[in-house]
Amino acid sequence: MIKVAFYDTKEYDKPSFERYGGLHDMQFRFLETKLNEDTVDLARGCDAVCVFVNDTVNAAVIEKLYEYGVKLIALRSAGYNNVDVQAAFGKIHVVHVPAYSPYAVAEHAIALLLTSVRRIHKAYNRTREFNFSLNGLTGFDFHGKTVGVIGTGKIGRIFIDICRGFGMHVIAYDRFPVQDSGIEYVSLDDLFARSDIISLHCPLTEETRHMISGDAIAKMKKGVVIVNTSRGGLIDAEALLEGIKARKIGAACLDVYEEEADIFFEDRSGHILNDDLLSRLISMPNVIVTSHQAFLTEEALNNIAETTVGNILSYFENDGICDNELCYRCGNIERCKKERKEKCF
């Protein structure tokens, strides 16, 4: 039996993982706490740990896991910026879920955008109080607008397809353009200058951290709408707030926030929020915040569980080889010696 410490458990996680794990004699130890240096001891006696986006898997945590004999870190997410893959190399293998439901995230980005531009959230609250006035609810057509998409992986390309369905003109930026895709790639500065809407679909790296900065915002059109369903650290939240206050940014649609780790996924309604910056953003009439829920569909939850369980089985039953392994040594973290069916270490 493979024993897995499952950190940061939510009720919606359990059914799918219990179902797929039960099919393969896999035992999950469901823990509500996040993984960090104070909770790593809970993984004693386990073969693997399963972690999510706000767990802290730094060098100190990895050293402890290695000491306890944990052989695998299984991310149930695509992003891995919370894992020190360099520290893990040579000690513990790391796997992730590269694509669970790109439609879920792309569709959520569109839902945020439509809600913001057409003032759906305001209309909903008004009519519940029998206020049927249309004052202040004027939006704009998507048709004919230019949307700039940063990151053209699976999610970005699905988002592009949906935007084209609305009759929008699409331009994009990606360090690694998709060949023969029919996508018009431009420089980042050109994208900033031309876009009515900017949507972020790229990973968080040292190069992309705070790519939406004060300088970047200064290059954008007045009234630009910014959508982020990727990672909070892509946006300098202070600069975003200043851009909103200066009326440079017309609206912001955020499913992620840089300092979300101790805030999102929990009910904070009965507490004073200590994050003044997030409080100010939420208070703005042209800002919509959802709490990292873009992935949350039944299809995605099933795919995440199935792929994560498959990753764990692949590692333990296939001599440490897993197609979805993340490796530090190769320079390109997502393309490794595993392509040649060799172990990374």
Domain-terminating residue out of 248, 272, 289: 289
Same domain, 68 and 185: no
Cα distances (Å, whole numbers) of residue 218 to 193, 211, 222, 289 = 9, 12, 9, 23
Same domain, 333 and 184: no
- Most distant pair of Cα atoms in the chain: their distance: 65
Structural domain includes residue 16: yes
Same domain, 284 and 302: no
Contact 22, 2 (CB under 8 A): no
Closest CA to 10 of 264, 259, 256, 265: 265
pTM for this predicted structure = 0.89
Structural domain includes residue 345: no
pLDDT band at 312 (very low <50, low <70, confident <90, very high): very high
- Write out pLDDT tens, residues 159-186: 999 999 999 999 999 999 999 999 999 9
pLDDT band at 234 (very low <50, low <70, confident <90, very high): very high
How many whole angstroms separate alpha carbon 32 and alpha carbon 265? 11
Q: If you write DSSP's letter for every residue of 188-218 in order, what string do you get? A: HHHHHHH-SEEEE-S---TTTTT-B-HHHHH
Summary mean pLDDT of the chain: 94
Contact 319, 344 (CB under 8 A): no
The C-alpha torsion from 99 through 111 and 206 to 100, rounded to 10°, is -10
For β-strands 325-326 and 93-95, DSSP reports them as: antiparallel
What's the rounded mean pLDDT across residues 283-307?
96
Same domain, 47 and 133: no
pLDDT at position 330, please?
Answer: 54
**CATH number of the CATH domain containing 94:** 3.40.50.720
Same domain, 140 and 153: yes
How many whole angstroms separate alpha carbon 137 and alpha carbon 219? 28
pLDDT band at 324 (very low <50, low <70, confident <90, very high): confident
- Write out pLDDT tens, residues 265-274: 999 999 999 9
Active site positions, annotated: 231, 260, 292
How many whole angstroms separate alpha carbon 261 and alpha carbon 225? 25
Q: How many domains does the chain have?
A: 2
Same domain, 88 and 115: no
Higher pLDDT, 46 or 332: 46
φ/ψ of 296, rounded to 5, equals -85, 80
Residue range of the domain that includes 84: 2-100+298-340
Amino acid at 247: R
Which of 19-28, 101-110, 130-139, 326-335 is least confident? 326-335
User: Is the C-alpha dihedral spanning 158, 163, 167, 171 positive or negative?
Assistant: negative
Same domain, 50 and 68: yes
